[in-house]
Amino acid sequence: MNQIPAWTAAEGAERARTAYRAAFGAEPAGVWAAPGRVNLIGEHTDYNGGLCLPIALAHRTYVALSPVATSDVTLTSQQESDVWTQPLADIGPGRVDGWPGYAAGVSWALAQDGHELGGYRAAVDSCVPYGAGLSSSAALESAFAVAVDEVFGLGLGADHEGRRTLIAACIRAENEVAGANTGGMDQSAALLSRDGTALLLDMRDGSLTHIPFDLAADGLALLVIDTRAPHQLVDGQYGQRRATCEAAAARLGVPTLREVTNLPAALAQLEDVVLPDGTAVAADVVRRRVRHVVTEIGRVEEFVGLLTAGRVREVGAAMDASHASLRDDYEVSCAELDVAVEAARAAGAHGARMTGGGFGGSAIALVEADQVASVSEAVRTAFAERGWTEPGFLAATGDGAASRVDEGE
Ligand code: ADP
Ligand code: MG
């Protein structure tokens, strides 16, 4: 079976340090790491001022880094082939191609905030799979954020408010330098999660609450299934969903769909819309998109209520309903996600759903701890029967935030 294990902090630190030595022939000043994340529930709610509930994974991206006397930034990654170097002053939007944009972009964003940084060199290694919807991009940004914060003495990583500044820098790096779409959930999870908790994020006011999430104590496990399905049409579809929600909110006279309090009344008011790109969306479709967003926000509240009350097994129903809503009303699922979810449920999962933006990526299933192997095997078989690429499997726990990982060694 295709298991994707999480490295221990010591193992990850040693790998990054070894990569650094091989590339630069010296010891790094330190090693820092940041987690990938998986969203428990609350999908396509972030840009509607809604709620989501990510947990940090034990799977982390490790960065061994040292400041240098010049203003050059030199980067290498075990997941990429090239060594990249560019003066700090030349880093910015439209000036960095490929993966270094996520990493070096954070330094650019912090410099934009008035922080003084120098040059550095760094080596990356990671056990967070790419493009699986587990946010390897935010893990990379956040690991660099805490690393440069410490070596240049910015002091932002030390407290909550400072970490919010780091989150904003990571978001700018991804949106403006790497040129990818991100709403901020991933970076918040990477920089503010706490061990044994899920992070309830309210995108209306930016507030966050740590919700107890200790599945092992209840004899449960969260199985993440990386479908390996090729993403298709993701960018255009994401933009259209977002634009449809914005058009619907405008029609309803509210700033975001979070403010919809009477769903039946709102649905009755909706009509055909034409998006800024000229796409016509029929009233029936607009209504289904709005119904997903509003009911999904309600499901996050329900999920959190059950977790807080210790009724953990009962969250399965909300997961199932979330998947149906994403598949039928929001239409962002795909055959691989549907099959993963159905096979997991048929093999005994309490609930299962796609997670992340959709059209590929990962699904999650809540399972009894002693059924992880049998549920995984059922999903693997269902994929094999269809001739699909074998999925990857990993266990998610609810881990801690980005930090230095080599202290005291
Ligand atoms: P996801 O965040 O869901 O994994 P993205 O497409 O947002 O998928 O981010 C993946 C991209 O982030 C990669 O294509 C690469 O550019 C960059 N990236 C992530 N992890 C690493 C890494 N360990 N080394 C180099 N680049 C990385
Ligand atoms: Mg990403």
The token pair at 277 is 């790109």
Segment 227-247 shows an average pLDDT of 85
Tokens 């191609």 -> residue: 97
pLDDT value for 238: 86
Residue 234 has pLDDT above 70, yes or no: no
- What does the alpha-carbon distance between residue 126 and residue 291 come to, in Å, rounded to a whole number? 38
Sign of the alpha-carbon torsion through 310, 350, 298, 357: positive
Q: What is the DSSP letter of 314?
A: G
Q: How far, in Å, is the centroid of ligand 2 from the Cα of 135?
A: 4
Which of 180-184, 232-236, 270-274, 276-280 shows the lowest mean pLDDT across its residues?
232-236
231 with 357, same domain: the answer is: yes
150 with 60, same domain: the answer is: yes
Q: Evaluate whether residue 319 is within a structural domain.
A: yes
Ligand 1 atom at minimal distance to the Cα of residue 99: 16
136 with 162, same domain: the answer is: yes
pLDDT value for 181: 81
Question: How many Å separate Cα 288 from the centre of its chain?
Answer: 25
To test the pocket of ligand 1, the residue of 130, 170, 231 to mutate (highest count of ligand atoms within 8 Å of its CB) is 130
Segment 305-325 shows an average pLDDT of 97
pLDDT > 70: percent of the chain: 98
Q: How many domains does the chain have?
A: 2
CATH code for the domain of 118: 3.30.230.10
To test the pocket of ligand 1, the residue of 99, 177, 182 to mutate (highest count of ligand atoms within 8 Å of its CB) is 99
Q: How far, in Å, is the centroid of ligand 1 from the Cα of 110?
A: 20
258 with 181, same domain: the answer is: no
Tens digits of per-residue pLDDT, 83-118? 999 999 999 999 999 999 999 999 999 999 999 999
Tens digits of per-residue pLDDT, 153-196? 999 999 999 999 999 999 999 999 999 888 889 999 999 999 99
Q: How far, in Å, is the centroid of ligand 1 from the Cα of 37?
A: 13
Tens digits of per-residue pLDDT, 275-312? 999 999 999 999 999 999 999 999 999 999 999 999 99
58 with 203, same domain: the answer is: yes
Which of 15-24, 316-325, 375-384, 399-408 shows the lowest mean pLDDT across its residues?
399-408
Residue 327 has pLDDT above 50, yes or no: yes
Sign of the alpha-carbon torsion through 364, 368, 369, 375: negative
Mean pLDDT for the chain overall: 96
Q: Evaluate whether residue 51 is within a structural domain.
A: yes
Pairing status of strand 273-274 against strand 54-67: unpaired
* Domain coverage including residue 31: 9-212+398-406
Q: How far, in Å, is the centroid of ligand 1 from the Cα of 94?
A: 18
Q: How far, in Å, is the centroid of ligand 2 from the Cα of 104?
A: 16
- Which ligand has its closest atom nearest to the C-alpha of 99? 1
Residue 408 has pLDDT above 60, yes or no: no
Q: Evaluate whether residue 78 is within a structural domain.
A: yes
- Whether 299 contacts 322, CB under 8 Å: yes
Segment 249-277 shows an average pLDDT of 97
205 with 225, same domain: the answer is: no
173 with 245, same domain: the answer is: no
Q: What is the DSSP letter of 229?
A: P
Where residue 235 falls among pLDDT bands split at 50, 70, 90? low
Q: Evaluate whether residue 4 is within a structural domain.
A: no
Where residue 407 falls among pLDDT bands split at 50, 70, 90? confident
Q: How far, in Å, is the centroid of ligand 1 from the Cα of 126?
A: 10
**Comparing C-alpha atoms, which of 51, 89, 133 is closest to residue 354?**
133
pLDDT value for 184: 87
Residue 266 has pLDDT above 70, yes or no: yes
- What does the alpha-carbon distance between residue 189 and residue 178 come to, in Å, rounded to a whole number? 19
188 with 206, same domain: the answer is: yes
Ligand 1 atom at minimal distance to the Cα of residue 126: 23
Which of 18-32, 171-185, 323-337 shows the lowest mean pLDDT across its residues?
171-185
Which residue's alpha carbon is nearest to atom 8 within ligand 1?
Answer: 131
325 with 238, same domain: the answer is: yes
- Whether 268 contacts 287, CB under 8 Å: no
- What does the alpha-carbon distance between residue 38 and residue 36 come to, in Å, rounded to a whole number? 7
Q: Residues lining ligand 1, CB < 6 A?
A: 61, 77, 79-80, 98-99, 102, 124, 126, 130-137, 140, 180
Q: At a CB cut-off of 8 Å and minimum separation 6, what does 262 contact? A: none
Higher pLDDT, 230 or 336: 336
42 with 77, same domain: the answer is: yes
Altogether, the residues listed in the chain come to a count of: 409
pLDDT value for 183: 80
Catalytic hit among 149, 186, 226, 399: 186
222 with 207, same domain: the answer is: no
pTM of the model: 0.96
Segment 213-239 shows an average pLDDT of 88
Q: Evaluate whether residue 309 is within a structural domain.
A: yes
Tokens 């799977």 -> residue: 59
Strand ranges (DSSP E) for 203-264? Answer: 208-212, 220-226
Segment 133-137 shows an average pLDDT of 94
Q: At a CB cut-off of 8 Å and minimum separation 6, what does 117 contact? A: 88, 107, 110, 111, 148, 152, 154
To test the pocket of ligand 1, the residue of 134, 135, 136, 175 to mutate (highest count of ligand atoms within 8 Å of its CB) is 136
pLDDT value for 396: 96
Q: Evaluate whether residue 34 is within a structural domain.
A: yes
pLDDT value for 131: 85
Q: Evaluate whether residue 344 is within a structural domain.
A: yes
Ligand 1 atom at minimal distance to the Cα of residue 135: 2
Q: Is 205 a catalytic residue?
A: no
**Comparing C-alpha atoms, which of 92, 88, 235, 105 is closest to residue 168?**
105
Q: Evaluate whether residue 251 is within a structural domain.
A: yes
59 with 143, same domain: the answer is: yes
